[in-house]
Amino acid sequence: MAFRDLLGAATFVDEETSVLHGVFDKSKSTGHDLLVFNKLKEAPGHRIAVNLLTRPRLCAALSIEPGDFIDLLGWAMTNPGEPKVVTTGPVLENIQSEPDLYKLPIPHHWREDRGRYMSSSVIIAEYDGIRNMSFHRQLLRDKNHLVARIVPRHLHSITKSARAESKEVNVAIINAPDPVVLLAAAMSFNTNIDELTIASALHEKVHGSPLELVELPNGIQVPAQAEYAMWGRITTENDDEGPYVDITGTVDDIRKEPVIEIDGITHRTNPVFHALIPAEAEHKTLMGLPRAPTIKSAVSKVCECLDVHMTEGGGGWLSAVVKIRVKNEGDGMKAIHAALDGHKSMKMVTIVDEDIDITDPVRVEWAMMTRWQPDTDSVILSNQKGSSLDPSRLDDGNTAKIGIDATIPWGYDRSGFMSVQ
């Protein structure tokens, strides 16, 4: 499926709009509805889409029920499939061998940001026989250079290894592929799993065929249906990146980060640029939703886990509610430790019974107030690995974490804890 095929429910904005705050301001004025901007001041011939991939729209696009979403992602993680390499595809319709990033509709959303950012573009890298696909925001520095905030995961390790040998890393940067590609790119693994094989498994499950890839001039393969693809190299140079409004709505730090040199750009005819707005629902969906299956998998090893919800208040990243079916004494406490281990950046987890709607914060709080004793049903862990998204973390990057067991106390008559509302 092409990204543009999902835009049927969008409101189309036909007046000329600037990518410098104009797209953001219009989106904010509508409550961040699904919008497509057809006339961009700085990028004639290009379009922008915002606020597409919320959880309900993702489920509709993939033709699945919301309750089945996590299990679908979990299935793909354990059943990778090989993509199909083809000779050509729509992404190769307009090739530019002399790139000018300023002519692309890369937006400057929040006024607190350093400049124009690609927040939903995905980096595909290959080095020493390993391929990695992952999200790392990219700051537009000049006509053929980006500065990427490469967070400490696999691409960071690849870049570090290459630089130890004074080598560059060949990369592609794609924008607006099929949503299954974005979901796969947002996953993280403890081993070197090729995320494109996860995307292909999802594509075959949802669309009935493997994901098709085409090869760029530097040898990197990219989804054939993507709206944009760029090819280049992670250089040995660093430059300032940030400030940037991140998923929690707070402003992230300025750091020295790797510079990517772009050697070429290709895109579809009449392309649609996916311009994710940081800290809004789409950002939280793409970052947080793929964490849920890893948490569910970890908790399922110690008890029966039914569902996981990454909370809005936690930015879709720092906090979760986990629904379990209690069968043995201590299941709630075991679930706490497993969940925190399943997502290392998480700061807080709340465990509830199967009768609680984990997407409703009022019902979750009700479970806490009627089933949880803070002194006996809590776990507090000190000096744990924290997240850079948490401004309250300690100077060394560590944080404290809390787990709350809000399940019905073991050995009690459950009828006294059930709501009649």
Which active-site residues does the annotation give? 246
Tell how many helices (H) and how many strands (E) occur in the chain: 10, 23
Q: How many residues does the chain have?
A: 421
Q: What is the DSSP string of 56-73?
A: HHHHHHHT--GGGHHHHH
Instruction: Give the tokens for residue 47.
Output: 């379009």
Whether 355 and 319 have beta carbons less than 8 Å apart is answered as: no
Instruction: Give the tokens for residue 338.
Output: 């497993």
3-class secondary-structure state, position 172: strand
Whether 350 and 336 have beta carbons less than 8 Å apart is answered as: no
H, E, C per residue of 334-373: HHHHHHHHHCCCCCEEEEECCCCCCCCHHHHHHHHHHHCC
CA dist., res. 97 & res. 217, Å (int): 10
Whether 272 and 45 have beta carbons less than 8 Å apart is answered as: no
Beta bridge partners of 222: 214
